Amino acid sequence: MTSRYSRQELFAPIGKEGQKRLHSTHVLIIGAGALGSANAELLARAGIGKLTIADRDYVEWSNLQRQQLYCEADALERMPKAAAAARRLRAINSDVAIIPHIADVGAQELEQLIKGVDLIIDGTDNFEIRLMINDISQKHKIAWIYGGCVGSYGLSFTILPGSTPCLNCLLESMPLGGITCDTAGVIQPAIQMVAAHQSAEALKILTGDIDALNRKLVSFDVWKNQFRTINVSSLKKASCPSCGEEQTYPYLSYDNQTKAAVLCGRDTVQIRPGTIQTRNLDHLETTLTGQGFKTKRNPYLLSFRVESARLVVFKDGRVFVHGIKDISEAKILYHRYLS
């Protein structure tokens, strides 16, 4: 019988030896949304040995347009994405060990999930967890592949500890809000392009073909027919606390993590960012109203309604999520619309 990987083995840069290497690898995907599910299916079909998927959310109807592992039954049952993904992936390739984790991943969870992992793939939707992934990657010297998309635009960058700039090098500080898939939408072709770049880089790393890696940041807009690569090697900083000469891994510190608490006697969760900041309410209001949200404003705060909740944003970065008692649900809305 012809091997299920025969066409992949005929590809000279992989071959039979590369296929054997793939079968011995363990990949961790953080986030099982559009990018996470696309990467998970590509790698499962490629025949990696073990795939760990971590996600805190469940399947909703709005996910079905772009999150390829899920079906209508998953949305009706509100299946946790990690569990639904594992079920589908096992049906695709029973030879791959699929380990689902239904959890809100933070620094402590990452320390546990990282054990025995060869590569991390970013399938998240906010920069707080990405910067945690970045620090855990640098701490344990494990490569990770960043990816993001919104509208018709996407970008990807492969981060090799000790070699390339890290995400903290590229970002001077935590982004303070902007356009997201939930405000500007996203189309499936953009997601597939990002996932294609991420998974191709993953196959290169997992088969040991490091010289073939694209060490530039890739960005494109599939609607405007734009594509470019950016050489960011000069942005690697010796002073970077994540990957520089004196590494402190700041985003693994509790002080730099988002804090959330239920306010006593109220259906409200307060979320406080991990770093001291001054929120630009003018910019936030322009962004939200431009995407069709109705906002209310005074000199001290801005509020808007989304789904069944009302979010109130203060100048110091704090957010009240009214109408919700569950911290996990409140954090999902916070990252979805304000991260």
240 is catalytic: no
User: For 206, which DSSP code?
Assistant: H
**61 within 8 A of 75, measured Cβ to Cβ:** yes
E strand segments, the chain:
26-30, 50-55, 97-102, 119-122, 144-150, 153-159, 217-221, 226-230, 259-262, 268-272, 295-297, 301-306, 309-314, 319-322
Catalytic option among 149, 166, 169, 181 = 181
Q: What is the DSSP letter of 251?
A: G
Radius of gyration of the chain (CA): 20
Q: In angstroms, rounded to a whole number, what is the distance separating the alpha carbons of residues 201 and 339?
A: 27
Q: How far apart are CA 227 and CA 193, in angstroms?
A: 11
Note whether 296 and 304 are within 8 A (CB). yes
By annotation, the residues acting in catalysis are 181
